[in-house]
Amino acid sequence: MNIITFEEVFRGKVFRIPDYQRGYSWTKKELEELWGDLNNTHHNRNAFHFTGILTVTDFSKFDTECIRREGFVVRGGKLVIEGDSYEGFNIVDGQQRLTTILILLSELVMALEDSPLKQRLTEYYFKVKEADGYRYIFGYHVDVPSHNYLIREIFNDTDYEAEETETLYTHNLSFAKAFFSERIKDFTQVELVFWIEKLTKHLLFSILNLNESKERPLDVSMVFETLNFRGKQLSSLERLKNRVLYIVSKQLTVASTIDRSRKKVNQSWLEVYKWLGRNPTQAMDDDAFLKAFWLLYFSHSKMVSTDFKSYQKHLFTIDFQLDQQEMGSVNYADYSELTQWLESMRKAVALWYFINNPYAVDTDEDFVYMITPAIQKSLLRLSNFPRGYGKYMLNLVLAVLMRDLPVKEDHGLSDFELQERLVSIERLFFAMERHNIMCFLLQGNNSTLNVEDTFRDINFYYLRGRAHNNEYLFNVLMESRVEHFRWKEVIRHIHKGGRFKTWAGLDYFLKGIEESMGGLLEQTEPKVYLVYPEEDDYEVRSTYKDINTMQKVNRDRYSHSIGNMFLAYNRYEANPFDKIQHKVQNAVKHEYRVSKLELDLLEYPNWTKENIEARGRKMMEAFIEHWELPMIQETEMKRLLLDEV
């Protein structure tokens, strides 16, 4: 391997990123590290920066056919542009670095005022004009979704066909372009040329061509998978795409079927990454979705906890095993099987997006399913449950939506059947949320309680159809999964620390009460305030004479009782009760946002032990009634509210 400059890397070569590669995944962290390295490469001192090894392979027959579709002429295995011969290479490893450097170079070249230099650099690194259009020196394979986006949006060729679907990868490309644009915006023309020379003449690479190992031929897809276990590793979803394409290429079938299969895989992964990156401010995790889909489609009822924990091992050693002879009972790379599970995955990712962004779909034309406000509210609460408790339940949510959520049009249901289907989903989500409240918020159980049973429910419910119907699942969630519930355990859990003040479910509880009173929660998070303040505000405490005559331990019980708390968007300091009421009245007068729990304080003539307990009892009884919780004894209620009998 010779060490050569970036300029020499591109001499007489055309590069393509093949379909088994992941898309562009560099984030701000990697961009800043590269920028720092480049800043530390001192051009004037004739310093160089070794960027790494670029691993490539010669174009195969398949690659040559792909590039012909871009308009390239191929003669004797060489690509011909304007009479000059170029060699075609696929990038196996190093595409993230190479793409990033080209994005920076593109920004530098665009800012140049020297037209001859600008044209020379454009033709050398980016594109060459022929009679019928441009030929592109670097890009993705034509079937890879990011190809059009890279050429048009990143390399600034506005004549190129637009990419209809944006994904997490295209967002990353845009971010990199904006990152470098910001860094160079104040460069002078001299600095631009200086940096172009730094990139092209002072960045060094080694090129490793895997085809040069004639005696020991290497499987490119497997080399790619191995190489990407170092550095910024492939996500399991990216690795799965590579594995599926590899297995598809080894199928004993005609070339046209293999080609159709490859296209289906590429289009499906495009759809997956479109939805995963649809909310660029909060992109969803690849592997969380993959696990949800694996549970949905590939798990089975005999699996135990260790299987669920090591689902990736199962996925790559059984479901998509390299050795075709050792593969499980189902060949998921067979065209009919492949089509079936890919279609399920495309549906699943749209619904997974809905689960994680329940209100974003209101104006999303690509989301084709019917929803109700009750379903949206449940999803918002389930996906944002305090401390991530019961997060595993979202996998069961996906199974329910996959099987039962009707499409907006052509659902084939009568109005009665449609309403029945939607109400059934609402009831199931109610049961799931109630399960999480009882097991985790109230009783404080280990966060993995019932996880194994829930994962098996997914298999029963989704794959076995009506054998395990909605009523069965509803009853399981409402009864057997929560039969361990005891109020004495709730009391122990809530009062083991700072009582309700430090309870993980405090916000959740108060927001639920606020909604039950008809309050509308805004996007801005309300805060929790105390009426009778804590010990630090001793002078204010002294104005609450009914409570303040007690010993400190009892004063704290009332201060940290749920009846002493309220949610507010307005800011409150520790104050006597009449001043707090005056502030609420003033907020109403000036039409500020006022919560129902704030307004509720106006119903009390004064703030006493009796009123704190009565208000807390009213709130707790409303919560118990709404969530259909087991009956609580009077002595248990007293202890729950005040930690005393």
Per-domain residue ranges of the chain: 3-232, 235-362, 368-485, 487-642
Give yes or no for residue 226 having a pLDDT over 60: no
> Which H helix or E strand runs over 612?
helix 609-626
pLDDT, tens digit (0-9, with 9 covering 90-100), for 335-351:
999 999 999 999 999 99
Q: What is the pLDDT of residues 273-297, one digit of tens each?
A: 889 988 877 888 999 999 999 999 9
Quote the CA–CA distance of 472 and 478 in Å, as a whole number. Answer: 10
Q: Looking at 43-167, list the stretches that DSSP marks H as alpha helix, in order from N- to C-terminal side.
A: 61-68, 95-110, 115-125, 146-149
CA atoms of 15 and 87, how far apart (whole Å): 9
Q: Which residue has the tokens 């289009």?
A: 267
**pLDDT at residue 451 above 80?**
yes
Work out the average pLDDT over 153-157: 87
Lowest mean pLDDT segment, chosen from 77-81, 226-230, 474-478, 517-521: 226-230
Q: What sign has the CA pseudo-torsion 401, 403, 404, 409?
A: positive
Q: Are 3 and 204 in contact (CB under 8 A)?
A: yes
* Mean pLDDT to the nearest integer, 609-620: 96
> Does the pLDDT at position 324 exceed 60?
no
**543 has a pLDDT exceeding 90:** yes
Q: Amino acid identity of 279?
A: N
Phi, psi of 52 (to 5 degrees): 130, -175
3-class DSSP state for residue 18? coil
Task: Label residue 41 by pLDDT band (50, 70, 90).
Answer: confident
Tokens 């974003």 correspond to: 360
- Reported as a pLDDT band with limits 50, 70 and 90, residue 230 is very low
State the pLDDT at residue 217.
52
Candidate from 217-231, 369-383, 619-633 with smallest mean pLDDT: 217-231
Dig out the tokens for 359 from the structure.
């209100």
What average pLDDT score do residues 579-607 get?
95
For residue 304, pLDDT beyond 80? no
User: According to the model, what pLDDT value does residue 465 have?
Assistant: 58
Asked whether the predicted pLDDT for residue 644 surpasses 70, the reply is no
Q: Contact at 8 Å (CB) between 125 and 145? A: no
pLDDT of residue 62: 86
Q: What is the pLDDT of residue 506?
A: 94
The closest of 186, 139, 187, 182 to 160, measured between CA atoms, is 139
Read off the DSSP letter of residue 37: H
Q: Provide the pLDDT for residue 235.
A: 85
601 contact partners, CB below 8 Å, separation of at least 6:
531, 566, 580, 581, 584
Cβ-based burial of 510 (10 A; exposed 0-12, middle 13-18, buried ≥19): buried
In angstroms, the Cα distances linking 225 to 94, 144, 222, 241, 246 are 13, 18, 5, 11, 11
Q: What distance in Å separates the CA atoms of residue 39 and residue 27, rounded to the nearest whole number? A: 18
- Which pLDDT does position 424 carry in this prediction? 94
Distance of CA 496 to the CA centre of its chain: 35
Q: What is the pLDDT of residues 377-430, one digit of tens each?
A: 999 999 988 888 888 999 999 999 999 999 998 778 898 999 999 999 999 999
How many Å apart are CA 169 and CA 183, to the nearest integer?
A: 21
Answer yes or no: is pLDDT of 44 > 90.
no
Tell whether the model's pLDDT for residue 468 goes beyond 90. no
pTM greater than 0.75 (yes/no) = yes
Q: What is the pLDDT of residue 49?
A: 85
In whole angstroms, how far apart are CA 286 and each of 221, 240, 274?
A: 21, 11, 12
Window from 467-481, 543-557, 609-623 with minimum mean pLDDT: 467-481
pLDDT tops 80 at residue 145: no
Mean pLDDT of 236-259: 87
pLDDT for the residue 165:
76
| pLDDT at site 48 | 85
* Rounded Cα distance, 86 and 15, in Å: 10
HSE at residue 472, side-chain half, CA atoms within 13 A, is 11
- Summarised one tens digit per residue, pLDDT across range 506-521 is 999 999 999 999 887 7
Asked if the model's pLDDT at residue 126 lies above 90, the reply is: yes
Mean pLDDT, the chain, integer: 88
Confidence of residue 479 (pLDDT cuts 50, 70, 90): very high
pLDDT of amino acid 326: 53
Exposure of 342 in the CB half-sphere (CA atoms within 13 A): 24
